[in-house]
A and B are shown apart, each in its own frame.
Chain A
């Protein structure tokens, strides 16, 4: 008789331990009965049926686009990223071109104030303009 007890936890449910040991060892015989019962419970476990058209339904569901917030955010971000990059590029180009040729102090003034136009006129022009005064009688 083997003195060591059977380590049932190391056995598969299909295994059969040494029958001579089982015959002589009461403890292992009892253990074997219970182990076999456990195996019987496991092997008798019922199965669950897959409902009809499950695979088609899941495949169709998987194909439909995600409508979660994360997906929406991702989609919007994908569309906005090129626009954002373009804005950054254009603005940095414009900034660069303005800062490249810095205007002189007097040029700044010309941006805001229109330069006065100086016309040439003579004394005769002044006298002529006086000649077009309104007639005396008409003066109030």
Chain B
């Protein structure tokens, strides 16, 4: 069996005009790109178009890629920037605060919290719905904080990788992730605590 080529070899071959090399790069990183876009944007219907846009940008910029750096972080950076640009294109939405979540949504969060406490299994629909709720909670976060949180907690990137993807320092990446966690936890506390208080009352 032929040994898998390294990222640097694939980049070199693509730049030299090998059409299959780029296909292999896409194959290698398509899951990551799709996942980042879906988890950041929260909408399935625009994932494929944006992923295609990301890979075309990657292809056009490959000759400027510094082969001494990891390709994964570079592709994550292009994906993050594409998502952030896409969000910027949309007229600024009103920042959602947790209190803005509808009563139904708050009840759903309480429902899932109870299910979690009872360790009861979730259906595929439950999982999808719970993610939609998490996505709504994440809308309160600053755009880059949200991206750092998605890259770290949903995609499992390391802090140095996040730092490269967001063109920032490792410390700044850590601060963004921990700030996101603090805000999400506070928001959940507000919903669940006020819910419990309502029930107690």
Contact = CB atoms under 8 A, between A and B. Distances in A.
Max count, chain B CB within 10 A of own CB: residue among A30, A33, A35, A44: A44
A38 B181 contact: yes
30 contacts: A8-B182, A8-B185, A9-B182, A9-B185, A10-B178, A13-B153, A35-B181, A36-B116, A37-B113, A40-B116, A41-B112, A44-B122, A44-B127, A45-B39, A45-B127, A45-B131, A45-B134, A46-B128, A47-B35, A47-B38, A48-B35, A48-B38, A49-B34, A54-B26, A54-B48, A55-B26, A58-B23, A62-B56, A62-B60, A63-B19
Interface of B: 19-20, 22-24, 26-27, 30-31, 34-35, 38-39, 44, 47-48, 51-52, 55-56, 59-60, 112-113, 116-117, 122, 124, 127-128, 130-131, 133-134, 153-154, 178-179, 181-182, 184-185, 188-189, 192
Contact of A9 (B27, B35, B179, B188): B179
B188 A37 contact: yes
B181 A41 contact: no
A62 B47 CA distance: 18
Question: What's the dominant secondary structure at chain B's contact region?
Answer: helix
Interface of A: 8-10, 13, 30-31, 33-38, 40-42, 44-51, 54-59, 61-63
B154 A50 contact: no
A48 B185 contact: no
Max count, chain A CB within 10 A of own CB: residue among B38, B127, B181: B181
A48 B131 contact: no
Contact of A51 (B48, B184, B188, B192): B48
B134 A34 contact: no
Nearest to B174: A10
B26 A58 contact: yes
Contacts of A45: 39, 127, 131, 134, 154
Contacts of A55: 23-24, 26-27, 30
A42 B151 CA distance: 12
B180 to A, nearest CB: 8
A62 B59 contact: yes
Contacts of A47: 35, 38
A59 B178 contact: no
A45 to B, nearest CB: 5
Given A45-B39, A48-B44, A58 B184 contact: no
Max count, chain B CB within 10 A of own CB: residue among A8, A40, A46, A51: A46
A44 B179 contact: no
Nearest to B59: A62
A31 B185 contact: yes
Nearest to B113: A37
A62 B22 contact: yes
A38 B182 CA distance: 11
A56 B23 contact: yes
A38 B178 contact: no
Contact of A61 (B39, B44, B52, B134): B52
A78 B192 CA distance: 65
B188 A38 contact: yes
A34 B189 CA distance: 7
